[in-house]
Every structure is written in C-alpha cells, then in structure tokens.
C-alpha cells in the first residue's frame, strides 16, 4: 500500500499517523496479528486479482511483472530501522478482528517520509504466523468509500 503525502510540508512534524483497514472476513486458526514494515523499493500497483495472472504491476515475487524480483517475497524492507520495536524494521503491529477496523500507528515512518529521510515506497503488511489463513480487507476501489483504507495524518508546522 502506498499514499501520496506530497501536500504535507517537508518541515512538518507528524503528531499522529494511522493506517486503517477494514477486515470484513477472517478465518484464522492462529494468532491474528499483523506486522507492518516500510517498503524500500519502488513498485507499480498491480492489475490482476488473487486468481488472475497480472500483466503488469507488483506481485508477491516481483516489483513489476517481468522487470525484477523482490529480494524478499512480498516486498523489500529495511530491517535495520528502529521504530520502537528494536532494529528490525518493524513499524507497527495490529490484531485483526472480523467486521472491524485494523489500525496501525505509522507516525515514525510517516515522519521519515515527509522529511525526506527515507523514500515513501509504501508499506508491507505481513502475517506474524503462517499457516492456513484467510483475511479479507476492503480495497480503495470498494463501493462504500466509508470502508475503504484510510491514512489519517495529524501534523503541525
């Protein structure tokens, strides 16, 4: 996921930044926690769905179909950055519940994006435990715009 923050002045102080996703379906026999990391490489938005083979854009394995592979499946992240969880690149954690908002605090990452300290290449959201799981979230194209993903940023300058 990626958002345009160019309207926020580079000198701004990010007081609070939250990424919110609405989980409408959850089948998760394990710990329903998600980790969020900042992506370090530019990528293109995909055109295909889960069951389709996209002809362009990012996939789990490539940052743009046919042009290059991620070093790490899902997206390349800087594992040396410390956002309060130690020098592992972890920006935020959240717990999923069906029919509710999942909220990630990305204040530290948003500040680095706005100040230009790191490039805004969006975020990678990853399940903490692997295994059979099915979590579904509404996308930015969903008909009800009140349930689409939101990035809420409070700042001062």
Q: What is the pLDDT of residue 68?
A: 79
Residue 75 pLDDT: 86
Put simply, whether the predicted model's pTM sits higher than 0.75 gets the answer yes
pLDDT for residue 131: 60
Q: What phi, psi does 141 have (nearest 5°)?
A: -100, 0
- The predicted pLDDT at position 145 comes to 96
What integer pLDDT is reported at residue 52 of this predicted model?
54
pLDDT (0 to 100) of residue 42: 87
- Which residue ranges of the chain lie beneath pLDDT 70? 28-31, 47-55, 129-133
With helix as H, strand as E and coil as C, how does the chain read?
CCCCCCCCCCCCEEEEEEEEEEEEEEECCCCCEEEEEEECCCCCCCCCCCCCCCCCCCCCCEEECCCEECCCCCCCECCCCCCCCCCCCEEEEEECCCCEEEEEECHHHHHHHHHCCCCCCCEEEEECCCCCCEEEECCCCCCCHHHCCEEEEEEEC
Which two tokens mark 156? 């001062």
C-alpha–C-alpha distance, residues 45 and 64, integer Å: 8
For 30-76, the pLDDT digits (tens) are 668 899 999 998 888 876 555 556 567 888 788 887 777 888 888 89
């Amino acid at each position: 996921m990626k958002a345009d923050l160019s309207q926020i002045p580079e000198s701004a102080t990010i007081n609070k930044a939250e990424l919110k996703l609405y989980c409408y379906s959850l089948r998760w026999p394990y710990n329903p926690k998600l980790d969020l990391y900042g992506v370090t490489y530019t990528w293109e938005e995909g055109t295909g769905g889960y069951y389709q083979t996209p002809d362009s854009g990012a996939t789990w394995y490539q940052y743009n179909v046919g042009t290059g592979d991620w070093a790490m499946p899902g997206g390349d992240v800087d594992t040396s950055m410390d956002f309060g969880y130690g020098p592992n690149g972890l920006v935020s954690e959240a717990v999923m519940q069906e029919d509710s908002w999942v909220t990630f605090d990305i204040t530290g990452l948003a500040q680095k994006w706005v100040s230009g300290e790191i490039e805004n290449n969006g975020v990678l959201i990853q399940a903490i435990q692997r295994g059979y799981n099915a979590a579904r979230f509404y996308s930015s194209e969903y008909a009800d715009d009140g349930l689409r993903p939101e990035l809420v940023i409070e700042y001062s300058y």
